[in-house]
Structure 1
Amino acid sequence: MVIHALLAAALAMTSVPAQTTVDCNRVKCLALTFDDGPGPGTPTLLKTLKKEGVKATFFLMGKKVEQLPSIAKQTLEQGHAVGNHTYSHPSLPTLLDNEILDELKTTQELIEQATGQQPEMFRPPYGHTDDRVLGLADQTELSQILWTGTTLDWKLRDAKKIKAAVLRLAQRNGVILMHDTVPATVKAMPGTIRELKKRGYHFVTVPTLLRGKGPEAGTSYF
């Protein structure tokens, strides 16, 4: 009996506490989002997020998922949200209807093949969109996710400047756009996340930020 009691105590000390649901009505939430992956730097970013206990949202390109399906799968398995970022990253309003649908549907299929799950969200490349694009996303059962602030990390390409941009853009219920394909962004994340935690932010996925009120197909958010 004593041995059983000691064993039970040891297990209790080593067990990982169950995650609690973040209530963004009560705490200061922030959604970090990463576009254009998966890429070579994505596994390093995933390690950082796991170490810091942070959940994020990744908008994946179809052709990148074709190249690195295991990383796409790992992203979802670690509890992050995954969205559609088209197959080849075109400016969607410049395309014909069937071309837009092909970009979205092909990527849906590739992400499902890699992860076992189809996304409910998409992000238009460059933020280029209009009512026609949104209507076609609705046909593909996708909501449209934009952002409240973009770091322009692809242009800065400097970890200190990217960190400063994130800290400047951070706001309650904000959605920050970055790219896990930019090495400086991956490098900037550990220090950036720690500073944001000091400022009282809780990191959530986009669906969590929507508080159960989405994402709904054909609706544009943020």
Structure 2
Amino acid sequence: MEDRVAEPAQQRTQLLRQLSAHMPKILILSLVTIGFLIVLSITSKGNDDSANTFSGSVGVAMAGEKDDDFEAPMVLTAISEPYKTETSVTAARTNPIVLSYVSDQPDSNHESFEVIDIDKEESFFGLPKEYVALTFDDGPSTLTKQFVDILTEQKVAATFLFVGQKVGPNQDAVIYASEHGMAIGNHSWDHSLLPKDTPQDQSESLSKTNSVLESLTHKTVTLFRPPYGAVNNKLVSEVKKLNMKTLLWNRDPEDWNAKKPEDIIRYFHQVEAAGGVYVLHENKNTLEALPAILKHLKEKNLKFVIFK
């Protein structure tokens, strides 16, 4: 009888010894499992918040968001010119900009092109899918006439945005572009970052530039292209007071940063051309790339437009 009572006791003792021997492994396995579940939970939450974290770190203005300090371009794009001390990245608009009207304006230099009268109540970024536009910033320069000659030879019109203080030594270039059917716009007086200026300084920059351009072209300047694409509601308000319209873009090959013409041409082949407003600059690589750019865009059977 005593042996039968002792036997279960011995079995319990052996079981306890076995559990004691394996307890560290069991604890380790449990801790690993709990740790894995905690990491998985944190990672899942991080993924849910990743868009907010990104937008907070680089200043992204989300689609449809109205901000007193910045207008959001149509596509995700960084500042398109080499302004290194301040960068802004902005997100896509979801609603297309409505044109005031579109009209055919052929002349002796061009087979057919159209003039887009854009709405001054909204900053303008892009076109309907059947259109395309080339815009050239930072002139006038010693290269302006060569740009105009290539465009005229190909019977294409483009929009040139000129910097006021560059007009003095390049007055003939401004006149030449205007006389050959190119649209002429205002790119500020000195290519400074205008949102940092007072409204009075903003107005003075635009007015001085308009004055020198209009004295040469004898046409009212109605277009404004903000340097670096930097614009806020206060600047847009000053633009409207001068009966002008803000013209931005939705295609940026960053030609100012290209090492060779082929870099620029490659961009045109990699993006959708339809509806594009391309921002380009008066430099040698862009000039050499222009014939190939025009050939590529013409193959798309798109209508070239200029703005007013």
| Range class of TM-score, shorter chain | 0.7 to 0.9
Partner SS for 2:265: helix
Cα deviation, residue 201, structure 1: 2.4
Residue in 2 that maps onto 1:161 = 263
Distance 1:167 1:118 in 2: 36
Query: Does 2:160 match 1:58?
Result: yes
Unaligned runs of 5+ in 1: 1-15, 208-222
SS in 2 for 1:205: strand
- Which consecutive segments of 4 or more residues in structure 1 shift more than 6 A? 23-27
Structure 1 distance, partners of 2:300, 2:129, is 12
Which amino acid is 2:285 matched to?
A
TM-score under structure 2 length normalisation: 0.58
Secondary structure of 1:117's aligned partner: coil
What code does the residue aligned with 1:112 have?
Answer: E
Give aligned pairs, total.
191
Whether contact under 8 Å (1:166, 1:176) holds in the other structure is no
Contact kept, 8 Å, 2:139 with 2:166, in 1: the verdict is yes
- Using a 3 Å threshold, how does the CA distance of structure 1 residues 52 and 170 change in structure 2: closer, same or farther? farther
Residues 62-105 of structure 1, C-alpha deviation per residue, up to 9 Å, x if partnerless? 01112211110111111111110001000111111111111100
The one-letter code of the counterpart of 2:143 is G
Q: Which runs of 5+ in 2 are unaligned?
A: 1-107, 117-126
User: Alignment partner of 1:118: what SS?
Assistant: coil
User: In 1, are the aligned partners of 2:109 and 2:155 still within 8 Å (CA)?
Assistant: no
CA contact (8 A) 1:92 1:125 kept: yes
Deviation at 1:199, TM superposition (A): 2.2
Aligned match for 2:236, one of 134, 137, 153: 134
Q: Matched residues in 1 for 2:128 and 2:232: separation?
A: 34
> Does the 8 A contact of 1:62 with 1:88 survive in 2?
yes
Aligned: 1:185 with 2:272: no
1:31 aligns with one of 133, 136, 141: 133
Give RMSD over aligned pairs.
2.2
Q: Give the stretch that moved more between structures: 136-145 or 17-26.
A: 17-26
Aligned to 1:68, the other structure's residue is in SS state helix
Relative contact order: is structure 1 or structure 2 higher (C-alpha 8 Å, sep ≥ 6)?
Answer: 1
- Structure 2 CA distance for aligned equivalents of residues 52 and 196 of structure 1: 11
Query: CA distance change for structure 1 residues 170 and 70 in 2, over 3 Å: closer, same or farther?
Result: farther
- Paired-residue identity, %: 27
